[in-house]
A and B are shown apart, each in its own frame.
Chain A
Amino acid sequence: MEIRKLTNKKILIEIGRPIITIAIALLIGAAIIALMGEDPVLAYSMLFKGAFKGLGNIIATLQNTTPLLFTGLAVSFAFRSNVTNIGVEGQMLFGALAAGIVGYYVHLPWFLHIPLAIIAAGLAGALWAYIPAIMKAKLNVNEMVVCLMLNPIALLITGYLSSYPLKAPGPTNKTFDIMKTARLPQFSNSSQFNAGFFIAIALLLMFWYINNHTKKGYEWKLIGQNPVFARYGGINVERNVVQIFLLSGMVAGFAGAEQVLGVYGAFYNGFSPGYGFDGIAVAMLAKFNPLAVSLSALLLGALNSGSIVMQMMTSVTRDIVKVLQAVIVLLLAADFTLDMFLKKRRDDAAGRKKAKLEIEKP
């Protein structure tokens, strides 16, 4: 009875924390809007209507949610194992470029062309993620510093390629339009909502299964909670960190594929408004749980989508969403590391005890 009470309380805290965080962010946003002499209630109601009123808006919200499902999954999968892949933005850009190249230069029937373009994007993302992975594993260089440098490098390389050697004729810096056979099917006339959404949902389910029902998933979780303990348990941490990075980069690459094959139909220089960074917010709100990623991506997708309407109807710019997002991440980052810190100490103690027991064994 006592135990059940505790777990119930814990579940309540788990759910309550993100909700309170979102509420605080909305209040801060409201204060800023009010300070500028605008009506926060009006602005927020426009935001909400823009996101959810009518089928057209709902579909637009789902379209805005799709890239965040991919990047949110990529980030949360890595962060769960304490692999801080903040290079998702760059990995996504390379994935998008690869999808654009395969989509235009390769000629195949659609049932081969689409999978091939997606696989190419995944490989490109994984390849770009291999750089921080190998530097971390072999040279023990901080992966976040490397990712920090690799993101602008990816933007500049893909920007160069799409502006010069691979540029399609015309005023815009973009690659050639992909073949019709590589286009992901779209389901709406008013927005670019496409089959990528369902691929993302399938991936979320897959990763949820891997995380919770496979040995590998358990090992990866252990590495996140306590690498020392994992090593005692006979897990090759370095090799697993590389694997986690590759998989995370692959999912990031898929995010790029969805944008090119489903939304734009070509690689546009600088197309991303920062989906890779949004992924961090999505992952943290979801506490790195793939199923919860769907909800947090929907929340941020709705904010992004609804803010367009809000910007049209009021004098508040859609940048207010960035402010909300930043506040959410700051507040969650604060509690998540505190949480991890406490947990880690506990696990450390447990690990030491276990190790001691094993040593004492004859």
Chain B
Amino acid sequence: MNEILNLNLITTIIRISPPLAFAALGGLLTFKAGILNIAMDGFMLVAAFTGVAAAYFTGNLYISVVAAVLASMVLSALFGYFNLKFKANIFIAGTAIGILASGLTAVLLKGIFGQMGVFTAREVLRFPQYKIPIIDSIPVLRELFSGYTILVYMAFIFTPIISFVLYKTKWGLRVRAVGESPDAAAALGINVFSIKMQTVILSGLFCGLGGAYLSLDYVSLFSRDMTADRGLIALAAIFFAKGDPFKTVAVTMLFGSAQALSVRMQLTAGIAPQIMQIIPYFVTMLALVIVGIQAKRKHFNIEATTAR
């Protein structure tokens, strides 16, 4: 009984993690390039809406995912252009993109579908569940790792890929160089604008997948502001994990489980949902304080040695 509950919990966590993981991977690319991407909620929201709208009009899930990703990438390009070309403050541009996405999707929800809060496509389309050959014949592993939809597998497959790209390829080196010292990178002949823009648009791609998963796979509907700060939580995870790809995805899963558990804990243990929901932000604040103190100490040490 207990074991089943635990397995159930783990599969729940695996199923709620993809949007956070996608956002974290996208955010990681921009983070490494020295961009704090707070517009990811907006990207995901627009993707989620576009996905449902495309599913409604085409009836094809894969076309809908592509449409969602494209919409998200267009928005990310807009964001990147305003920040990088027009020098708009990243936080202000990001906040504006978030408000734009929230307002625009709500207006279109009413304008196209005549709905104020929630829209469900007429017929519910479902992604097929993939069974992994050998694992599917082993009892516990089958429950844990087999039978998910393609987007779930993609979220986890992309983690090592992103890590490889960032740390083992020329492009990854350029991204990190741009992030650590844009001036030095520019002096080496790297096109800083272009590299940063590429990471922003790629973050749009990943957020697009995350948004599409939310509205086409995790649930089959679009509701207002359905991303529920997932972009912000992903960003918190990146800070907490100091930008390491594997750690970041692991932390997003932890944060995701805190969110998932908030409802369960209230029902079973009577713990207020806010207490679980606050965890990601709270531990990230603590991490910021610790990193700040460490950096300060290091700075003092350097000053002390140079003084000597």
Contacts and interface: CB of A to CB of B under 8 A. Distances in A.
Interface of A: 32, 35-38, 84, 86, 135, 138-142, 144-146, 148-150, 152-153, 156-157, 159-160, 163-164, 274, 277, 280, 284, 315-317, 319-323, 325-327, 329-330, 333-338, 341
Nearest to A158: B274
Nearest to A152: B281
B148 interface: no
Given A145-B36, A163-B274, A319 B103 contact: yes
Interface in B236-279: 236, 239, 272, 274-275, 277-278
Interface residues of B, number: 47
Contacts of B107: 32, 36, 316-317, 319-320, 323
B247 to A, nearest CB: 18
Given A156-B277, A320-B103, A329 B95 contact: yes
8 contacts: A146-B288, A160-B275, A316-B111, A322-B102, A322-B103, A326-B99, A330-B96, A338-B87
Interface string B130-163: 0000000000000000000000000000000000
B281 A153 contact: yes
A320 B221 CA distance: 22
B13 interface: no
Contact of B274 (A32, A156, A334): A156
Nearest to B103: A322
A320 B78 CA distance: 19
Given A139-B295, A140-B295, A164 B272 contact: yes
B126 interface: no
Contacts of B104: 32, 319, 322-323
Nearest to A131: B285
B118 interface: no
B288 A145 contact: yes
A138 B288 CA distance: 12
A145 B239 contact: yes
Interface in B94-127: 95-97, 99-100, 102-104, 106-108, 110-112, 114, 116
B273 to A, nearest CB: 9
Given A139-B296, A316-B111, A338-B86, A153 B278 contact: yes
Contacts of B232: 148, 152
A72 B288 CA distance: 28
Interface in B14-52: 36, 38
A267 to B, nearest CB: 15
Contact of B87 (A38, A86, A138, A341): A341
Contact of A149 (B89, B92, B97, B281): B281
Contacts, number: 149
Given A163-B272, A284-B92, A323-B107, 7 more contacts: A86-B95, A140-B292, A141-B292, A160-B274, A330-B82, A330-B96, A334-B86
B184 interface: no
Contacts of B103: 319-323, 325-326
A144 B91 contact: yes
A337 B272 contact: no
Interface of B: 36, 38, 82, 86-89, 91-93, 95-97, 99-100, 102-104, 106-108, 110-112, 114, 116, 229, 232, 235-236, 239, 272, 274-275, 277-278, 281-282, 284-285, 288-289, 291-293, 295-296
Contact of B289 (A35, A139, A327, A341): A139
The listed residue with most B CB atoms (<10 A of its CB), out of A86, A152, A330, A337, is: A330
A160 B266 CA distance: 13
Given A38-B111, A316-B110, A317-B110, A149 B236 contact: yes
Q: Which of B82, B285, B296 has the most CB of A within 10 A?
A: B285
Contacts of A141: 288-289, 291-292
A139 B292 contact: yes
A185 to B, nearest CB: 34
Given A141-B292, A157-B278, A334-B86, A277 B285 contact: no
A164 B282 CA distance: 20
Contacts of B296: 138-140
Given A139-B295, A159-B274, A319-B103, A333 B111 contact: no
Contacts of B236: 149
B168 to A, nearest CB: 29
A37 B235 CA distance: 38
Contacts of B277: 156
Contact of A157 (B96, B100, B112, B274): B274
A110 B275 CA distance: 36
A277 B99 contact: yes
A38 B87 CA distance: 35
A317 B239 CA distance: 37
Contacts of A323: 100, 103-104, 107
A163 B274 CA distance: 10
A50 B104 CA distance: 21
Nearest to B288: A141
B95 A36 contact: no
Given A140-B295, A322-B106, A326-B96, A334 B87 contact: yes
Pick from A148, A150, A327 the residue with the most CB of B within 10 Å.
Answer: A148
Nearest to A86: B91
A333 B88 contact: yes
Contacts of A325: 99, 103
B54 to A, nearest CB: 17
A277 B88 contact: no
Contacts of A164: 272
B89 A153 contact: no
B128 to A, nearest CB: 35
Contacts of A319: 102-104, 106-107, 110
A280 B281 contact: no
